Structure 1
Amino acid sequence: MMLTHQLTVEEVNNLESETFVRIFGNTVEHFPAAAIAILKNRPFLDIDDIIKAVTDFLDSLKVYEKERILQLYPDVVNKLFYSSQLPLKREIRGSDHLTVDDKTKLRELDDNYKVKFGFPFIIDNKEKDVNTIFSEIISRLQNSKEKEIDNTMRIVKNIVKLRIHEIVR
């Protein structure tokens, strides 16, 4: 559902359940169950209360449920370098200057990451530079699966926070 304006917390609290789920159903990537789960938390006091409801929901999940959510996120590295998604390429500084060798190395790192962890490499919105992506993926490949799930869920929570701030003022 496309919003024509940001909602107030009062408007969020007064949404019909079905409308609420349509609006908040993608705050966690393609996972409307998160929106359904937080309905019971209404009325929300403020935007932070909404964010806390979603993050508490995410924290309450079992490890295999968190993995399932992480698998729903797009493979940004693959989309960035191996598709024609020009808007995404413009968002990542330095991506247009990668050599063939750089692209090959990044694809190899991305493939190793997916094999090791079972979900795509997910980046925070602040990681908008190709050198940061390289160093992050190399660093995160050193993590245990448990640590990487926790780490990536923190990133997901940051993404959720940004998405909720786009919906609610």
Structure 2
Amino acid sequence: MFAADTSQAHDAHTLYSHHHGWLRAWLHRRLGCGDEAADLAQDTFLRVLLRPQALHGLREPRAYLTTIAKGLLADLWRRRALEQAYREALALMPEPLAPSPEERALALQALHEIDALLDGLAPKARHAFLLSQLEGMSYAAIAQELGVSERTVKRYMAQGFECCLVAMV
């Protein structure tokens, strides 16, 4: 067991030393910010360390790292879009009704938790669930908006509620 751990640690170290600079530069080109690129590169390698068995026989390390980094980028952009939508909703509120900074922070945290909770859903299922729960749309209206049947919307909603129930347990 120790020999396998040593081998995996060596593989991870080699992957990091050979590809960290390249990955950070790749992320910097997409983000335009060196600090964010460095953070996401570190997060990418952290994910690699959490799955060391994937390093065994890895033929295309840059493709593997890029796949992980693209997922992290998508998460980052989704969080930013969520935060922007929240800020826009706050801007529309009359000042006396606007939440305090603490309430805003708690609401953003809750939005991030909901976002992470629904992350496992297919995009259309996620969209249907959010349209129903946040916009109050009927299943028929959601079906029309998404171009699917009402039965499919019901299936999407069941998947969304299942995600919520699993999180509550």
Instruction: Note whether the superposition's TM-score is higher than 0.5.
Output: no
- Structure (1 or 2) with the larger CA radius of gyration: 2
Richer in helix (by share): 2
Larger RCO, structures 1/2 (Cα 8 Å, 6+ apart): 1
